[in-house]
Amino acid sequence: MAAGAARAADALTPDVIAEHGLSADEYQLLVAVLGREPSLTELGIFSVMWSEHCSYK
């Protein structure tokens, strides 16, 4: 699989972001922190760290 195809498969849609429990504001904060769009793996890591259960915000 080409790199572009792999990136397209991991596209972060608003639905995927919401499924990870992040609001639009939280997602924009994540983009600002990283200085780029997060990968799907990074989105998962931040969604756990920023969850109510862990509360590492």
User: Is 30 within a domain?
Assistant: yes
Summarize pLDDT for 4-55 with one digit per residue, the tens.
544 555 689 999 999 999 999 999 999 999 999 999 999 999 998 888 766 6
Whether 54 is covered by a domain: the verdict is no
- Name the residue among 24, 31, 29, 22 with its Cα closest to residue 50: 22
- Structure-token pair, residue 11: 């596209």
Q: Which domain holds residue 26?
A: 3-49
Residue 55 located in a structural domain:
no
Alpha-carbon torsion (35, 8, 51, 54), positive or negative: negative
Q: Domain total for the chain?
A: 1
- Per-residue confidence (pLDDT) for residue 9, from 0 to 100: 54
Residue 23 burial (10 A CB sphere; 0-12, 13-18, 19+): exposed
Q: Does the residue 22 lie in any domain?
A: yes
The pTM of the full predicted model, rounded to 2 decimals, is: 0.72
Q: Per the domain annotation, does 26 fall within a domain?
A: yes
